[in-house]
Amino acid sequence: MRLEVAQQIGIGLKRTRIADGEAHGAVAMGLGSRMLARMARNHPHFITAVRQAIGAALIPVSAALRVSGQGGELLRAVNISGDSFKTDEVTATAGSEAACCRAAPSA
């Protein structure tokens, strides 16, 4: 997965790593991070095991969206971090859809 980052000057140094972990989880599991957050609350041992199994960052909070092409195929995940989860999600959806893709959080 290729990581593309745009960062506002003056934010915390590790903010992009957090956003990457949220987006990586969405791609690795094929689920939006809203669903991963719910799974973390209901089945914390499962999420811990998944983190170990995939050997990469997975941060299960509601922020990352799966972005699909016109045929429904998974293209990427996108995440915006810096405001409330809801505001970040709305902003990520609008930006992805403006760029010709369909973005949707998992229920």
pLDDT tens figures, 57-96: 788 877 777 777 778 787 777 777 777 778 877 887 887 7
Helices (H) and strands (E) in the chain, counts: 4, 3
In tens, the pLDDT along 16-44 reads 778 788 888 888 888 877 888 899 999 99
Whether residue 51 is predicted with pLDDT greater than 70 in this model: the reply is: yes
pTM value is 0.69
List the chain domain ranges. Answer: 15-104
Give the 3-state secondary structure of residue 47.
helix
In tens, the pLDDT along 70-80 reads 787 877 777 77
Q: What is the CATH number of domain 15-104?
A: 3.30.450.150
